[in-house]
Amino acid sequence: MKKAKCRDEFKNAYRKALQFYLFCFVFLTQMLILSLPSSLECDPESGLWLKVSSMATFNSSNTLSSTFYLSGIPGYEEFHHWISIPFCLLYLVGIMGNCTILHIVRTDPRLHQPMYYFLAMLSLTDMGMSMPTMISLFRVLWSISREIQFSTCVVQMFFIHTFSFTESSVLLAMAFDRYVAICHPLRYATILTPRLIMQIGIAALLRGACAMIPLLARLAFFPFCHSHILSHSYCLHQDVIRLACADTLFNVIYGLLLVVVLWGMDSLGIFVSYVYILHSILKIASREGRLKALNTCASHICVVLILYVPMIGLSIVHRFAKHSSPLIHIFMAHIYLLVPPVLNPIIYSVKTKQIRQGVLYLLLRTKTGSTMS
């Protein structure tokens, strides 16, 4: 009876967390769009950037365009249609894999445990980080349009960077989950309650979103009087600010601080958690027991490396290798956004017995249902 009540609490927490995520996405997107200023125009006498109405902007020859132009893969434009095929397959694998994880965690009562709810959060953040780029990428590769409006670009940046920071927080929460499970197994259920899990998920999302709002709100007031050609097929903050003809020192320093503080805190927390985990594992007498305990952490360690290595590499390339080949920037950016959503479900499906059984059960049930029909 107590176990059934605990499962119901986890279900309610899971449902409320999903509803809150969706509400925040809609609300923050609307606020970002509404906060954008109207078009800007340069006054030739005073040199100031003035707000003008949309009709005046349309008729003026000195208009500052609010349209950016996305880039595909330079030098390979004639192969864009063929290049879109592997990208399409990667997006399809990522979406199907993460949706499968979410469905299994929701429907299988055996997986209504903290570890798997954190895994569901990871799948949500993976999709939230990669899917906003999908439409603009295929519009470029299929030669439909390279244009993207400034407001759309800001919203895209918001989702990409917010979910990037959120995913880092979720990985920290998963490290804490492994620490409690290995170092304090008898107190696992009392420490990681449904209420605490829901609060962790909400705090992770709000931390990433609130950290990005000052950065993007300031970006909305920058004049872009130089080139409007972006380096990627989607918008990144570090790529947009280099096109601004204004003082971007605040954005550069603030963006660097966000990376150092938020990712630094999360990575330090993960490192400390594993120090305690290893200390507890070494106390286990049997070799089989130590290997079993380490095996429960293997999936999480792989996922941490998959996120942090491309993330750090992309930041280093943008800040210290600005004049390197554009192919390096594009390659790193696509690894950063596509590899985690694609590999994370595969890693957990292979390394976690319960998830693997859930996937097999789902496939066999689907196959049986189609055979009977």
Highest mean pLDDT, choosing among 48-57, 264-273, 317-326: 264-273
d(CA 145, CA 143): 6
Average pLDDT, the chain: 79
pLDDT tier for residue 266 given thresholds of 50, 70 and 90: very high
Say which range, 33-42, 54-63, 273-282, 347-356, has the weakest mean pLDDT: 54-63
Which of 15-19, 28-32, 64-68 bottoms out in mean pLDDT, i.e. has the lowest? Answer: 28-32
Cα separation, 133 vs 139, whole angstroms: 10
Q: Which residues contact 368 (CB under 8 A, 6 or more apart)?
A: none
Q: Which residues contact 169 (CB under 8 A, 6 or more apart)?
A: 203, 204, 207, 208, 262, 266
Check pLDDT > 50 for residue 318.
Answer: yes
Is the pLDDT higher at 349 or at 178?
178
What percent of the chain shows pLDDT beyond 70? 78
Element (H, E) at 365: helix 353-372
Q: Where are the beta strands (DSSP E) in the chain?
A: 40-42, 49-51, 67-69, 147-149
pTM attached to this predicted model: 0.79
Nearest to 274 by CA among 153, 177, 373, 161: 177
Give 70-120 pLDDT, tens digit per residue. Answer: 888 877 888 888 989 999 999 999 999 999 999 898 888 888 889 999 999
